Amino acid sequence: MKINFLRFLCFAIFTSFILARPFILQAQVNKYPPVSGHATGATVALSPDPIVRMRWANTTAADGLESYPLRPVKWTVSDPRSFNMQQFKSKNSIEVTGKGEIRFDFGQINAGWLEFDSDDLTDSVTMSISEYNEPAIVNTGAVHPVKTLPPVKYGHTYRLELSPDLYEGVRFGWIHVLSHQKKWHIKNLRLVCQIKPVNYNGSFSCSDPELTKIWYTGAYTVKLNLQKDYFGAILMERSDRFSWTGDAYPSQAASMVAFGNYDFVKKNLVNTSKLDNGIASYALYWVLSVIDYVNYTGDITFLKGYTDNAAQKLDNAYKNFDNPNNLGFYGWDERLGAGFENPTNPETRHAYTMLAIRAWLEFGNLLKQTDDEKLADKYLQYTQTKMDEERKKGTWLNDFGLHASADAINTTLTTAQENTTFYKQNYTDRVNRISYSPFNNYFIIGALGKMDKYDDAISAIKDCWGGQINYGGTTFFEVYRPSWNQILGKNDAPVNNQCGYTSLTHPWSAGVVKWLSEELLGIKPTSPGFKTFQIVPHLSGGLTSVKGATPTLSGNISADFNELSGISTITIPQGTVAEKVAIPTGKNAVDKISLNGVIVWSNNAATGNRSFTQHIENGYIVFEHLKPGKYNFKVTYKSAFKRSIAKQLPWKYVINQFKQDSLTGGKWTGKYGTEGYMLFNYFKAGKHLQKLPAYVDSVVLTRGKNVYADLPAANSTLTDTAGLNKPLGAIATQDPMACLQTMTMDLHASDNSVHQMALYFLDWDNKQRRSAIEIFDLKTKNLLAPVQLVKNYTGGKYVIFNYSGSIRIRINQVRGENAAVSGIFFK
C-alpha cells in the first residue's frame, strides 16, 4: 500500500495488588471491563508498570482490553486558596472554592483517560492530559489536536473525551476551573487505564540497575501500545494510529522476549503482510519480523504460508538494489535524510542495500533449516553476488557512514578488518554514534555487539535509553538527543521537529529489550522454536552479574550468572538442547569447575562427562550439548582479577560555546552584522534583504513559512540598515501541520575559517514561544553542537556562536504557536 505520508499525516473486585500500590482507586471499577488477572508475579521495583505483578491464567490475541483505575501520586495547585486538598489523599475529595487549576501526576505514562465525579459542579471547567508537564498539543489530523476540552457529563461523572477510542498517553492530568460561583467538590478523580492482557513471562536483571530499568521500561512501552486488534499503535493520538510495519519490527521482537505473546505477534504479521506503508525498508523489516517470529516459535507452517509473500518483497529489493530511488523513509536522523525530507540520499541508499543483503541471507538460512533448498540457494546467491559487487567498488569502507556501516556489520558478512575500519570511522565519537531515534539505535548497538564492542554498546544504551529515563521518561521516545537533558527540566515539553510533535511513548524504541536479553543475558535460538539455542552472556561495562528468562513455547529458558561468586544456574526446558552454554569467568584464573556438586574440570586435569563436553576459551568455560534440566555451576578461582568500570568517552562537540543577548533588541546595526546579514521578509512577505559576506556563497531556507506583520514600530523588531524601526519580518515553522514543526537554513561556505553568527528570535505577539536550535555539518550531517533552547524572547534575543565551513541550522518548535527567526547576522 503506497501512501503520501506528509499528506496522510497532515490529515491523517480488584485483587491484592491494588492494596500494594499507593493511591490505586477501587471505586468505579464496574464501569469498564476490569482486570481479570491476579497479582501473583514477582515485585519488580525498577519497572514503571503499576501492574507488573499481574498474571492471567491464559492470554490470547483475541482477548479484549481490560481496565484499571489509578489515582495520582502527586499534585500541585495554582492557588491554594481555590482548592482544599486536605481530604484528597484519604477520601479522594477536593473542595473547590475559587478559580485556578490542579495538575495531577500519575507517576508514569499510562494508556487511559481522565475523569471525576461531582454532584454539585456549577462552575465552568476544562480538563487536559499530557505525556509531559504541560497540556499536550499535537498536529492537525488528530481528532482533537489540543488535548484540552470541557468534560462530557454522564450523570455525576465528568470524562475527558479526546478521541473515539478515549485512551491517550497520560502521565499528567489537569482540571482547570475557569469561573467560580459557589463551593463544589471533585470526587473520585481517576485515570482509567486500559491494557491488553499479557504476562511478563520474560525477565531481566543485572548488577547495573540502570540497565535493568531500561529493560522493563522498554517492555512497558510495548505493553501500553498493544491495542485490541493491532500492534504498535502510537499512544498519543496524532492521526497515525495504525501498525507501521517497520516500527513493528523491534516492537514485536521486544514483545516476544518480554511477554512471549506469540499469537498476537503472528496476528500482527498477518495484518501487515500486504503493507509496507510506502517505505521500501519496511517491507524488509516485515521479512525480518517473520524470521524473528519463526526462530522464537518454530512455526514452520506459518513460514510456508507466507514464503511467497516474503519472496515477493525480497525479489523487489533485488530488482531495485542498484537504483533504490523511492525509499520513502529510513529514519528521523539528519544523516538518513531527516525522515521524509530527503530519504533517498547516499547514506540511506547504502544502508538499504545492506539491509536487503541481510534479509536475503537470514531468510535463506532459515529456509535451509526448513528444507526449502532451492529458494534458499537463490537468496544466498543474491547475498554473495551483491556483497561481492559492493566490495569490488573499492570505496564502500569510506562511503558508508554510521547507519550504513551498522547495516553492513549486521549482515555478519563483514571481515574483522572491515569492522575495524568502520569502527574507527563511525563509532568512536560518543556524540555521533548515537542516532536521533532509538529505532535506528537498535541497529547500531546490534553492530557494536557483532564487533565485540560491548563496552561501547552499553555506553550507547545508557546515553540513549538511560538518558530518556534521566529526562523523566517512564516509556521510551520517538526521538531523543542526550543534550536535551542539559537544557530541559525533568518531564518538560520535548523538542518537536521533522517527526512532528514528539511522541514520548513510541514502541519502535523497544528493540533494546531484545538486545539486552540476547546479548547481555546471552539467550539466542540457533534453530526455529529454540529447539537448539545458546547462552553466551557478555558481562561488559563493569557488569558482574546478569540473570533472566526468555519465554519459549517449550517453557522458559532461564540463566543466572555471577562472575564474582563463580556461581551460575541455568534451566533448559524439555524439548530443547543448549548447543552452547558459556559460563563467564572474566580475567579470573580458574582453579576448578563443578556441576551439580561434581567436579568436571580442574586446573591439573580434566574430568569428562558423557552428556557434554567442556573447555575454556576467551574468558568463558564452555559447555556443549546440554540436555533439558537444571544445572548448577560453581567456578573456583585461584586468583581474582580486579574489575574496573569501563571508561566513558567524553562528549565532544565542535561548537560548544554559545551566548544569548536579550538586551540589544532590534537595534543590531553596529553590533551585529558587520560582515553581512539576512533580514527576513524585510518589506513584504517573501522578500528577504541580504548582504552576504564573501565567505558565504548562499543561505538556502527550507520548510519555513514567510511571516510579515504591519505592527507598530517597536524596539524589539529589527531596524533597517540605517537603524530605523521597521515592521515585523520573520520566517516560521508551519505548525500545526504534521511534520512541519521545523525549518532549516543551509549555509554554503567558501572557506573553512572560524566566523561568528548570530540568530535573532522574537516572540512578537507574546505567544510564549520556545524554540530549539540544532547545528550540523552540511556535508556529513553530523551533529556539531548540543541542542540549544531559546525562550523568554518577547523583547527579542540573539543567539551567538562561532562556526566554520558549511553548516545546516535546524530551528525546531518546542512550545508556542511556532518557532520564528527574524534575521541572521555575520560577525
- Residues 303, 368: contact at Cβ < 8 Å? no
Mean pLDDT of 822-827: 95
Residue 712 confidence (pLDDT):
66
Residue 713 confidence (pLDDT):
64
Q: How many CA atoms lie within 13 A of 118 on its CB side?
A: 21
**Residue 368 class from Cβ within 10 Å (0-12 exposed, 13-18 middle, 19+ buried)?**
middle
Residue 700 confidence (pLDDT):
95
For residue 665, is it left (φ>0), alpha (ψ between -120 and 50) or beta?
Answer: left
Dump pLDDT digits (tens) for 225-242: 999 888 888 899 998 888
Q: How confident is the model at residue 6 (pLDDT cuts 50, 70, 90)?
A: very low
- SS3 category, 29: helix
Dump pLDDT digits (tens) for 417-458: 999 999 999 999 999 999 999 999 999 999 999 999 999 999
pLDDT above 60: residue 775: yes
Residue 10 confidence (pLDDT):
35
- SS3 category, 609: strand
Contacts of 676 (CB under 8 A, 6+ apart): 690, 691, 692, 693, 696, 825, 826, 827
Three cell numbers at 517? 536479553
- Residues 491, 171: contact at Cβ < 8 Å? yes
Please give the backbone phi and psi of residue 619, each rounded to the nearest 5 degrees, phi first. 80, 15
Q: Following CA atoms 347, 352, 357, 359 in sequence, which dihedral angle do they give, to the nearest 10 degrees? A: 140
- Residues 351, 403: contact at Cβ < 8 Å? yes
Mean pLDDT of 197-213: 97
How many C-beta atoms surround the C-beta of residue 7 within 10 A?
11
Residue 17 confidence (pLDDT):
29
Distance CA 19, CA 32 (A): 20
Residue 605 confidence (pLDDT):
62
Dump pLDDT digits (tens) for 34-91: 999 999 999 999 999 999 999 999 999 999 999 999 999 999 999 999 999 999 999 9
Residue 413 confidence (pLDDT):
97
Distance CA 717, CA 477 (A): 37
Distance CA 797, CA 721 (A): 18
How many C-beta atoms surround the C-beta of residue 598 within 10 A?
9
Residue burial 126-160, b: 16+ Cβ < 10 Å; e: rest: bbbbbbbbebbbbbbbbeebebbeebeeeeebbbb
- Residues 543, 521: contact at Cβ < 8 Å? no
Three-class secondary structure assignment of 547-590: EEEECCCCCCEEEEEECCCCEEEEEECCCCEEEEEEEECCCCEE
H-helix or E-strand spanning residue 515: helix 511-515
How does strand 168-177 pair with strand 157-159? unpaired
Q: How far is CA 213 from the centre of its chain?
A: 15
Residue 508 confidence (pLDDT):
96
Residue 7 confidence (pLDDT):
36
Distance CA 69, CA 200 (A): 20
Q: How many CA atoms lie within 13 A of 644 on its CB side?
A: 3
Distance CA 113, CA 236 (A): 11
Dump pLDDT digits (tens) for 700-739: 999 999 988 776 667 788 888 888 878 888 999 999 998 8
Q: How confident is the model at residue 602 (pLDDT cuts 50, 70, 90)?
A: confident
For residue 53, is it left (φ>0), alpha (ψ between -120 and 50) or beta?
Answer: alpha
Contacts of 553 (CB under 8 A, 6+ apart): 262, 297, 298, 529, 530
Three-class secondary structure assignment of 122-175: CCCEEEEEECCCCCCECCECECCCECEECCEEECCEEECCCCCCCCEEEEEEEE
Residue 3 confidence (pLDDT):
37
Q: How confident is the model at residue 12 (pLDDT cuts 50, 70, 90)?
A: very low
Three cell numbers at 583? 559460563
At 374, the amino acid letter reads K
Residue 686 confidence (pLDDT):
75
Distance CA 775, CA 803 (A): 9
- Residues 591, 603: contact at Cβ < 8 Å? yes
pLDDT above 80: residue 2: no
Domains plus CATH for the chain? 10-195 (2.60.120.260), 276-426 (no CATH), 524-639 (2.60.420.10), 658-826 (2.60.120)
Residue burial 731-746, b: 16+ Cβ < 10 Å; e: rest: bbbbbbbbbbbbbbbb
- Tell me what the pLDDT averaged over the chain comes to: 92
Distance CA 439, CA 406 (A): 13
Q: Is there a cis peptide before residue 584, judged by omega within 30 degrees of 0?
A: no
Dump pLDDT digits (tens) for 84-134: 999 999 999 999 999 999 999 999 999 999 999 999 999 999 999 999 999
**Residue 689 class from Cβ within 10 Å (0-12 exposed, 13-18 middle, 19+ buried)?**
middle
Residue 606 confidence (pLDDT):
56
Sequential DSSP letters for 42-109? PP-TT---TTTTEE-S---TT---EEEEE--SEEEES-TTTEE-TTHHHH-EEEE-SSEEEEEEEEEE
Please give the backbone phi and psi of residue 31, each rounded to the nearest 5 degrees, phi first. -75, -25
Dump pLDDT digits (tens) for 580-590: 999 999 888 88
Distance CA 481, CA 499 (A): 14
Distance CA 682, CA 709 (A): 10
Residue 26 confidence (pLDDT):
37
Share of the chain above pLDDT 70, in %: 94
Share of the chain above pLDDT 90, in %: 84
Three-class secondary structure assignment of 239-296: CCCCCCCCCHHHHHHHHHHHCCCHHHHHHHHHHCCCCCCCCHHHHHHHHHHHHHHHHH
pLDDT above 70: residue 190: yes
Q: How far is CA 409 from the centre of its chain?
A: 22
Integer angstrom CA distances of residue 766 from 713, 771, 792, 797? 16, 14, 9, 13
Q: Helix H segments across 173-238?
A: 209-224
Residue burial 414-447, b: 16+ Cβ < 10 Å; e: rest: beeebbebbbeebbeebbbbbbbbbbbbbbbbbb
- Residues 577, 623: contact at Cβ < 8 Å? no
pLDDT above 90: residue 609: no
Dump pLDDT digits (tens) for 629-674: 999 999 999 877 666 677 788 999 999 999 999 999 999 999 999 9
pLDDT above 90: residue 601: no
The distance between the two most distant Cα atoms of the chain, rounded to a whole number of Å, is 94
Residue 242 confidence (pLDDT):
85
Q: How confident is the model at residue 32 (pLDDT cuts 50, 70, 90)?
A: confident
Residue 27 confidence (pLDDT):
36
Residue 358 confidence (pLDDT):
98
Three cell numbers at 285? 523489516
Residue burial 753-774, b: 16+ Cβ < 10 Å; e: rest: eebebbbbbbbbeeeebbbbbb
Mean pLDDT of 540-548: 93
Mean pLDDT of 209-213: 98
- Residues 423, 454: contact at Cβ < 8 Å? no
Q: Which residue has the cell 578461582?
A: 637
- Which residues on neighbouring strands pair with residue 357, listed in sequence order? none
- Residues 521, 515: contact at Cβ < 8 Å? no
Residue 709 confidence (pLDDT):
79
